[in-house]
């Protein structure tokens, strides 16, 4: 079929044309990619050549740690002078006086890094050995640390600050002053920040005396401490007991700035320790002049100083003008009048604090009761106790001690019985030694009364109930007095023993007048020596 042959020939021609077109397209793409890569490569080569040319202009070819073998250059000679500008490394190198200074700088940095390491405190001996060897090597070359530090990462001050940090943290405080001496010998300037940092580290480990020694060096260098440092120096001086120096620091602080409330509190405590009331009063006035708030804590310290110095009237005047006071302030004033045995004034202060809207506490009533007992007004002391109880305040060991002390002045049966009742209330709060002393005072009061026999039995019964030892009940003077009474009457030497069963008295008296061997009085053993207990005055703490 002729038509079919023609169509078949045309199909083959089309297929061949398409194959040639694809191959041509691949060839064109390949040439394009090759051209692009050739251009990029050429640009990179040009850039490298340009960079090399630029580097040659900035840093001459002779600057290298490896010198050309053809040139016999001596290691310690400086390179020849070039007309082209020197790079930074060349400027440092040309300033060195010897090639060994580079290794010294690296050694300085190594020591500083070792001193700052967190484990340096355990290896402080190794660090100090490295430091000593470093100093020896510098001395041999007649070089000092500032010269070496000029080409190191650490400055001379940073180097010594790291060493101080290391020895303080390791507890080698004896090395601190040695390092400071080395700084002077090496010509290293000691800035204020270095001194203050050193003192802060020493204060952190409570080495206040050494911190003050560092301050002396600061002052000798002509530096003036900051206000914060002066405030700290006041505390340092107080801690080591140099009160006069603390006051001097405070005066300097007052001239450079307004002291903080903390600095004022510290100096007020210093005046209190010195019992210096005029200086205390001046300090309070100065706080007000400078606009520093006189809080209750500062006021109470000042009031306490005045009471101890017995300037009670001035203390009361200061308290009256104080805008901020509390119950502690009035308790302090009451204590002053109690020490003077002035019950009337103490009661007036109690009335004033009630007018001011303050609530008295147990300490307030105890102090007024003490004033009453000291004044001999025992009945009023018990009335104050009733008032205290009426306000819902619980008595304590001091309440008991004060009221029992009143029994030694004017003992009565009523007060003895009330003392025993009071003792039952406070017994859980007291130790056996205290209770023994209180029972001794009550026992003494019983002996002073004709009807004391029955009261003494109650005392003994209460002692046994509270499991208080009876060995402290009889003292030598009581036995002697009782024997004198017994001999005059021809009876048993101690009248209080008449109500005690005879089996409690040990062996019967040989002559009806005295015991022929060690005996017991209400269970109190006397083997030739009488047991001694605290007196009534010793009970008041």
Question: Per-block average pLDDT, block size 10, for the chain (541 residues)?
Answer: 47 57 68 64 49 40 32 41 45 44 87 83 85 93 92 94 93 94 94 95 95 96 94 95 96 94 95 95 95 94 96 94 92 96 95 93 96 94 95 94 89 91 90 89 86 84 83 44 44 44 40 34 34 38 34
What's residue 176's pLDDT? 95
On whether both 532 and 430 belong to a single domain, the answer is: yes
Query: What residue has token string 């007992």?
Result: 373
On whether both 531 and 434 belong to a single domain, the answer is: yes
On whether both 337 and 303 belong to a single domain, the answer is: no
Nearest to 439 by CA among 407, 410, 413, 409: 407
What's residue 33's pLDDT? 64
The residues, any chain, with a CB within 8 Å of residue 316's CB and separated by 6 or more, are 333, 349
On whether both 296 and 381 belong to a single domain, the answer is: no
Q: 268, 289, 321 — which closes off a domain?
A: 321
Q: How far apart are CA 485 and CA 494, in angstroms?
A: 8
Q: How far apart are CA 141 and CA 55, in angstroms?
A: 36
What's residue 492's pLDDT? 42
Share the mean pLDDT of the chain.
Answer: 77
Is the residue at 469 inside a domain? yes
On whether both 316 and 330 belong to a single domain, the answer is: no
On whether both 374 and 286 belong to a single domain, the answer is: no
Is the residue at 58 inside a domain? no
Alpha helical stretches, state H, 448-521: 452-466, 476-489
Both tokens of 513, joined, read: 């007048």
Is the residue at 330 inside a domain? yes
Using an 8 Å Cβ cutoff, are 170 and 178 in contact? no
pLDDT digits (tens, 9 = 90+) for 85-100: 444 444 434 444 444 5
Nearest to 158 by CA among 117, 112, 120: 112
What's residue 40's pLDDT? 52
What's residue 283's pLDDT? 96
On whether both 426 and 541 belong to a single domain, the answer is: yes
Q: How far apart are CA 421 and CA 250, in angstroms?
A: 54
The residues pairing with 525 across neighbouring beta strands, listed in sequence order, are 520
Number of domains in the chain: 3
Is the residue at 60 inside a domain? no
Q: How far apart are CA 442 and CA 396, in angstroms?
A: 17
Q: How far apart are CA 176 and CA 201, in angstroms?
A: 11
The H or E element that residue 71 is part of is none
What's residue 44's pLDDT? 53
Three-state DSSP at 526 gives strand
On whether both 368 and 472 belong to a single domain, the answer is: no
What's residue 514's pLDDT? 37
Angle, CA 146 vertex, CA 141 and CA 150 arms, to 5°: 100
Q: How far apart are CA 344 and CA 362, in angstroms?
A: 19
Is the residue at 278 inside a domain? yes
Q: 274, 301, 321 — which closes off a domain?
A: 321
- Residue 365, exposed/middle/buried by CB under 10 A (0-12, 13-18, 19+)? buried
Q: 303, 321, 339 — which closes off a domain?
A: 321
The H or E element that residue 301 is part of is helix 296-308
Both tokens of 392, joined, read: 């819902």
Domain boundaries, position 282: 258-321
The residues pairing with 520 across neighbouring beta strands, listed in sequence order, are 525
Nearest to 511 by CA among 534, 487, 531, 532: 487
Residues in the chain: 541
Using an 8 Å Cβ cutoff, are 270 and 280 in contact? no
88: left (phi over 0), alpha (psi -120 to 50) or beta: alpha
The pTM for the full model equals: 0.65
| Alpha-carbon distance values, 453 to 89, 271, 445, 458, 522 (Å) | 107, 54, 11, 9, 12
Q: How far apart are CA 252 and CA 230, in angstroms?
A: 8
Is the residue at 378 inside a domain? yes
On whether both 315 and 364 belong to a single domain, the answer is: no
On whether both 374 and 424 belong to a single domain, the answer is: no
| Alpha-carbon distance values, 519 to 84, 490, 527, 533 (Å) | 117, 18, 7, 19
- State CA 478 to chain mean position distance: 50
Q: How far apart are CA 459 and CA 472, in angstroms?
A: 13
């Amino acid at each position: 079929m002729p038509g079919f042959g023609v169509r078949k020939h045309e199909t083959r021609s089309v297929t061949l044309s398409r194959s040639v077109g694809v191959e041509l397209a691949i060839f064109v793409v390949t040439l394009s990619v090759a051209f692009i890569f050739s251009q990029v490569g050429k640009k990179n080569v040009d850039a490298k050549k340009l960079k090399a040319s630029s580097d040659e202009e900035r840093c001459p070819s002779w600057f290298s740690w490896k010198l050309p073998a053809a040139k016999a250059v001596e290691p310690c000679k400086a390179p020849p002078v070039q007309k082209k500008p020197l790079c930074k490394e060349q400027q440092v190198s040309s300033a060195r006086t010897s090639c060994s200074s580079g290794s010294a700088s690296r050694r300085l940095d190594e020591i500083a890094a070792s001193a700052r390491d967190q484990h340096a405190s355990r290896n402080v001996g190794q660090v100090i050995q490295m430091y000593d060897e470093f100093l020896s090597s510098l001395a041999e070359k007649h070089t000092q640390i500032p010269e070496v530090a000029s080409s190191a990462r650490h400055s001379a001050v940073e180097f010594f600050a790291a060493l101080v940090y290391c020895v303080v943290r390791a507890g080698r405080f004896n090395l601190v002053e040695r390092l400071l001496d080395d700084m002077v010998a090496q010509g290293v300037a000691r800035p204020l920040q270095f001194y203050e940092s050193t003192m802060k580290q020493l204060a952190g480990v409570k080495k206040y005396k050494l911190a003050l020694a560092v301050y002396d060096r600061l002052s000798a260098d002509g530096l003036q401490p900051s206000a914060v440092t002066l405030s700290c120096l006041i505390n340092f001086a107080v801690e080591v007991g140099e009160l006069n120096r603390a006051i001097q620091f405070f005066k300097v602080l007052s001239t450079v700035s307004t002291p903080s409330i903390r600095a004022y509190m510290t100096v007020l405590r210093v005046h209190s320790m010195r019992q210096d009331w005029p200086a205390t009063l001046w300090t309070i006035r100065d706080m007000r002049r400078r606009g520093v708030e006189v809080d209750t804590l500062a006021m109470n310290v000042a009031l306490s100083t005045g009471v101890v110095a017995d300037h009670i009237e001035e203390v009361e005047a200061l308290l009256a003008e104080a805008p901020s006071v509390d119950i502690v302030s009035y308790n302090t004033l009451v204590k002053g009048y109690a020490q003077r045995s002035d019950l009337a004034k103490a009661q007036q202060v109690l009335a004033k604090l009630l007018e001011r809207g303050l609530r008295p506490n147990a300490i307030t009533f105890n102090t007024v009761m003490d004033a009453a007992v000291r004044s001999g007004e025992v009945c009023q002391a018990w009335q104050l106790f009733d008032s205290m109880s009426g306000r819902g305040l619980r008595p304590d060991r001091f309440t008991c001690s004060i009221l029992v002390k009143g029994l030694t002045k004017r003992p009565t049966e009523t007060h003895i019985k009330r003392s025993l009742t009071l003792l039952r209330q406070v017994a859980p709060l007291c130790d056996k030694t205290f209770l023994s002393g209180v029972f001794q005072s009550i026992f003494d009061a019983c002996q002073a009364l004709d009807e004391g026999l029955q009261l003494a039995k109650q005392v003994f019964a209460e002692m046994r109930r509270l499991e208080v030892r009876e060995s402290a009940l009889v003292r030598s003077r009581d036995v002697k007095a009782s024997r004198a009474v017994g001999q005059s009457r021809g009876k048993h030497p101690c009248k209080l023993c008449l109500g005690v069963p005879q089996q409690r008295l040990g062996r019967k008296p040989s002559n009806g007048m005295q015991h022929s061997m060690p005996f017991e009085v209400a269970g109190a053993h006397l083997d030739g020596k009488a047991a001694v207990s605290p007196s009534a005055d010793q009970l008041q703490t």
